[in-house]
């Protein structure tokens, strides 16, 4: 893990790490807390199990997260699946290039996963750990899915278009989840476990795909 982290730190710029990894998310965590506080009069007692407000806030948060991840990703690996292959040519000159880029992509995904879990944790703090995991996984799947598309374009316009379209997918997934949970009245825990498994597998597959595609760019030498 130390080597993976070292590769990630070497590849990402200090500005990105300060602004994209620390300051912007921290500012948003604070904003989340502040919004929940003002709405419910205090975060500890405010966020109630099964609150509709939580869910609206969650969807709004997902929308923000997709844009945040796309724009900050553009800083680091934006356009890396495109023919220009931003910065990947240098990795091909080394036999370690594949391992290094795999490490970078893995740490990057781990960071996204942790952020999704933290954000959904703040909102669904008292709803139960299953809800936190489902919400976090859905957020993560949408973000990674969108990045799989946006990394093909070395520009923000098309990536923004993909992010906007992804909101439809996000809405559909969340609607499906609500319907499924309503249908499973009385067996909610079973349904939540099922959803965790479903989105867990999806998140794993999307992550694998993401790492694999960037490795193929190195290995395949498509130019």
Residues that bind another protein (CB under 8 A): 6-7, 9-11, 13-16, 75, 86-87, 89-97, 100, 219-223
Please, which residue, 13 or 175, has the CB nearer to another protein? Answer: 13
Query: What is the C-alpha to C-alpha distance for residues 185 and 197, in angstroms, rounded to an integer?
Result: 19
**Residue keyed to tokens 């945040």:** 68
Query: What is the C-alpha to C-alpha distance for residues 21 and 75, in angstroms, rounded to an integer?
Result: 11
Please, which residue, 38 or 94, has the CB nearer to another protein? Answer: 94
> What is the nearest approach in angstroms of another protein to the Cβ of residue 148?
20
Look at residue 12 and give its three-state secondary structure: coil
Tokens of 40: 């419910």
Query: What is the C-alpha to C-alpha distance for residues 76 and 108, in angstroms, rounded to an integer?
Result: 10
Cβ(112)–Cβ(143) under 8 Å?
yes
Closest CA to 136 of 177, 85, 93: 177
> What is the nearest approach in angstroms of another protein to the Cβ of residue 147?
17
> What is the nearest approach in angstroms of another protein to the Cβ of residue 89?
4
Please, which residue, 86 or 158, has the CB nearer to another protein? Answer: 86
Please, which residue, 95 or 168, has the CB nearer to another protein? Answer: 95
53-58 contacts: CB < 8 A, separation 24 or more?
54/123, 54/124, 54/127, 55/174, 55/178, 57/32, 57/123, 58/120, 58/123, 58/124, 58/135
Please, which residue, 188 or 213, has the CB nearer to another protein? Answer: 213
> What is the nearest approach in angstroms of another protein to the Cβ of residue 146?
21
Please, which residue, 187 or 219, has the CB nearer to another protein? Answer: 219
> What is the nearest approach in angstroms of another protein to the Cβ of residue 93?
5
> What is the nearest approach in angstroms of another protein to the Cβ of residue 81?
15
Residue 220, CA distances (Å) to 18, 83, 150, 212 in order:
33, 12, 20, 11
């Amino acid at each position: 893990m130390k080597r993976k982290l070292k590769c990630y730190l070497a590849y990402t710029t200090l500005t990105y790490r300060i602004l994209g990894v620390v300051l912007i998310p921290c500012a948003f965590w604070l904003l989340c807390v502040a919004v929940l506080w003002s709405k419910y009069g205090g975060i500890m007692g405010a966020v109630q199990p099964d609150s509709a407000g939580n869910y609206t806030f969650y969807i709004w948060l997902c929308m923000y997260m997709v844009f945040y991840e796309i724009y900050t990703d553009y800083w680091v690996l934006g356009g890396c699946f495109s023919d220009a292959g931003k910065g990947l040519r240098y990795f091909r000159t080394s036999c370690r290039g594949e391992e290094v880029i795999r490490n970078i992509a893995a740490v990057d995904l781990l960071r996204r996963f942790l952020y999704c879990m933290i954000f959904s944790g703040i909102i669904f703090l008292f709803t139960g750990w299953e809800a936190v995991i489902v919400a976090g996984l859905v957020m993560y799947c949408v973000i990674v899915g969108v990045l799989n598309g946006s990394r093909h374009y070395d520009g923000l316009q098309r990536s923004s278009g993909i992010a906007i379209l992804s909101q439809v997918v996000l809405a559909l997934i969340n609607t499906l989840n609500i319907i499924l949970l309503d249908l499973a009245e009385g067996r909610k825990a079973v349904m939540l476990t099922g959803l965790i498994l479903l989105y867990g597998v999806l998140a794993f597959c999307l992550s694998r795909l993401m790492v694999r595609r960037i490795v193929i760019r190195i290995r395949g030498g498509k130019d």
